[in-house]
Amino acid sequence: MKRILIILMLFGISAYANAADVIRLVVKEDRASCTGVAPQTCFQVKYKNSKSWELFYSNISGFNYKPGYRYVLLVTRTKRANVPADASIYTYKLKRVLKKQKMPVVTSDWGFVVKHKWKLIQMNGVTQEQSPAFIIFDKEKGRVNGSAGCNSFFGSYEKGDGKLTFKQMGSTLMACADEERTKLENDFLKLISDKTFKYDVAEQTLNFYENNRLVLMFGMAPLDTP
């Protein structure tokens, strides 16, 4: 009797470990750079309660993804019994495509860009939650300014053929007590100083690319927002 009970308990644990549920996923029309075991590109997804796009480090078995299309999927999510190192605790399998929508081609309309403040929302594939960093462009003077986290930065820019070059960048030198803000600021300023990026505007985001890899994403905000 005791042996039967142990077997039933082990069966129950195994069944729990492999329990599956069906979830709804929205998959964005372009991938973003991310770092798992090595640098790679990831889907950008929204779950039921997502407020913004999240990086998706796994694969979806049976899903034939095409860039430029936004998908709404029903996906079977199964918890792994034994999780390999640096792997997701879940596996995902496509159950049904609920919607597939061709998204508008992105634009490089600079007149639109200079009318707004752009707040940093992603850097090198990492989502920046409530980041204090932002950037503003002065079309008439060819100047750029903003906040890198603690300090203000400034410089000039040149634009042409869908590319943007930052020049003569500088910043104030106020000490920052917050270590996370200090790291954010150092990484951000290093990334944009004397660099040339391809850029586009899509879905109210300003995106910078280096070697065809998305490295910076900014969200649109009114110029007069703090």
Task: Give the β-pairing of 213-221 and 205-210.
Answer: antiparallel
Q: How many structural domains comprise the chain?
A: 2
Task: Report yes or no on 226 lying in a domain.
Answer: no
Same domain for 97 and 116, yes or no, is no
Boundary-marking domain end, from 44, 77, 102: 102
Boundary-marking domain end, from 46, 71, 102: 102
Task: Report yes or no on 205 lying in a domain.
Answer: yes
> What whole-number distance in Å separates Cα of residue 209 and Cα of residue 215?
6
The parent domain of residue 79 ranges over 2-102
Same domain for 126 and 84, yes or no, is no
Same domain for 114 and 161, yes or no, is yes
Q: Provide Rg for the chain, Cα atoms.
A: 22
Task: Report yes or no on 145 lying in a domain.
Answer: yes
Tokens 């996370």 correspond to: 180
Task: Report yes or no on 128 lying in a domain.
Answer: yes
Same domain for 98 and 117, yes or no, is no
Q: Is the dihedral of CA 61, 213, 141, 171 positive or negative?
A: positive
* Selection from 191, 182, 179 nearest residue 218 by Cα: 191
Same domain for 70 and 119, yes or no, is no
List, run by run, the mean pLDDT of 10-residue segments along the chain (226 residues).
Answer: 49 54 92 72 89 88 91 94 77 95 73 90 88 93 94 94 92 89 92 93 86 90 74
Task: Report yes or no on 184 lying in a domain.
Answer: yes
CA dist 49 → 32, 46, 53, 99 (Å): 21, 8, 11, 19
Task: Report yes or no on 154 lying in a domain.
Answer: yes
Same domain for 88 and 20, yes or no, is yes
Tokens 């920052």 correspond to: 176
Same domain for 27 and 120, yes or no, is no
* Selection from 133, 168, 166 nearest residue 150 by Cα: 133
Provide the pLDDT for residue 142: 94
Provide the pLDDT for residue 6: 47
Same domain for 37 and 134, yes or no, is no
Provide the pLDDT for residue 39: 67
Same domain for 118 and 192, yes or no, is yes
> What whole-number distance in Å separates Cα of residue 157 and Cα of residue 168?
9
Same domain for 93 and 124, yes or no, is no
Boundary-marking domain end, from 86, 102, 118: 102
> What whole-number distance in Å separates Cα of residue 196 and Cα of residue 157?
9
Instruction: State pTM to two decimals.
Output: 0.56
Same domain for 88 and 114, yes or no, is no
Same domain for 96 and 118, yes or no, is no
Provide the pLDDT for residue 123: 93
Amino acid identity for residue 20 in this structure:
A
